[in-house]
Copies of this chain bind each other. A is one copy, B any other.
């Protein structure tokens, strides 16, 4: 227009002066693949927005390199593993070992001792069938970090049935963690699936926080009336229930119903990018019923719950992006939310967290 228009005219819509619950977590282990996914061909994955090329060398050991050839910036994951076990760029054939050192430049007659030609490498290891990658590159020493990845405590116990399931959610790591450990939404979003409408029972919830975790313990909960509960405990009985967040990204839900039933449901979350989180669920169960009876029910119900959560988190993310930030309001029944956030921010900054006194709140189920 001849007369121009002001900034106000351009921004007709309601916008949030908000921020995003996005964190950057250095010096932490995350699952990037199942061991079975990583064969001889390299695969490309992302961790907090950074593309990584995963491959196995001739010893079967996993390498994790920044997925960008230092020469002309083509992704190494589009190449192949050469006879010497090095990953080879598909453009000019440059090769790199697991430590990121450039070990060959075809056609070149000069020396290879130029550090600018090396590729950034990340510590990687396998444990319990998963490929874990460390979120900070190797330092000059090339030593593996002292810290170890999370152990799924019952996954190797023959007394338990263990079911694994991966799913992607389009939400921040924080939103996915809070969702996984949130009780009130289950009566609405998952209505009839594992919780039904409120029975009006007021529970006490004890909340405690340590350096690397926070825990909510639910006391006095009777067996819920939903289908999943009936499968677990046909005879009824009191429920013991703990929800835990373990730094950097484990959501752990534990149920005991009587002496015979025990569920330990760990979800190890990987921040793919700011608004993409991959959930690696490892659910171990011990019940009155034999494992082969229980197992066929666990996976489809668990998957349905996860998909309902994925739909809601996608809508939350779309809305938050549309408004240009989050604008959340809080109540005390957002039981672990603020504790998860403080632990994530402390992990981001590498600072210790001040322990809090245990608190107790009420919640109606």
Contact = CB atoms under 8 A, between A and B. Distances in A.
Given A71-B329, A107-B363, A93 B187 contact: yes
A132 B356 CA distance: 51
B329 A116 contact: yes
B72 A2 contact: no
B5 A74 contact: no
Interface string A157-172: 0000000000000000
B187 A68 contact: no
Interface stretch (A220-228, A233-241, A317-325): A317-325
A188 B91 CA distance: 6
Interface residues of A, number: 88
A90 to B, nearest CB: 7
Among A120, A328, A342, the most chain B Cβ lie within 10 Å of the Cβ of A328
Given A1-B326, A68-B319, A362-B109, A93 B188 contact: yes
B198 A75 contact: no
A12 B344 CA distance: 13
A126 interface: no
Contacts of A75: 315, 318-319
A114 B332 CA distance: 13
A147 interface: no
Nearest to A14: B50
A88 B189 CA distance: 11
Given A24-B11, A50-B13, A202-B109, A91 B185 contact: yes
A189 B5 contact: no
A79 B24 CA distance: 33
A108 to B, nearest CB: 5
A301 interface: no
Interface stretch (A15-23, A34-42, A261-269, A280-288): A15-23
A315 B341 CA distance: 37
B73 A326 contact: yes
Contact of A5 (B14, B23, B320, B328): B23
Contact of A9 (B51, B114, B184, B348): B348
A3 interface: yes
Given A23-B12, A107-B364, A2 B73 contact: no
Contact of A92 (B13, B22, B24, B188): B188
Given A107-B333, A189-B90, A326-B73, A24 B48 contact: no
A139 to B, nearest CB: 16
Contacts of A92: 182, 184-185, 188-189
Given A90-B312, A315-B75, A10 B20 contact: yes
A363 B1 CA distance: 23
Q: Which 10 A-B pairs have the closest CB atoms?
A: A13-B49, A12-B48, A12-B24, A93-B188, A107-B184, A14-B50, A4-B19, A13-B50, A116-B329, A1-B21
Interface of A: 1-5, 8-14, 19-25, 48-51, 66-68, 70-75, 78, 88-93, 105-110, 114, 116-117, 120, 174-175, 182-185, 187-189, 198, 202, 271, 273-274, 312, 315-316, 318-320, 322-323, 326-333, 338, 341-342, 345, 348, 362-365
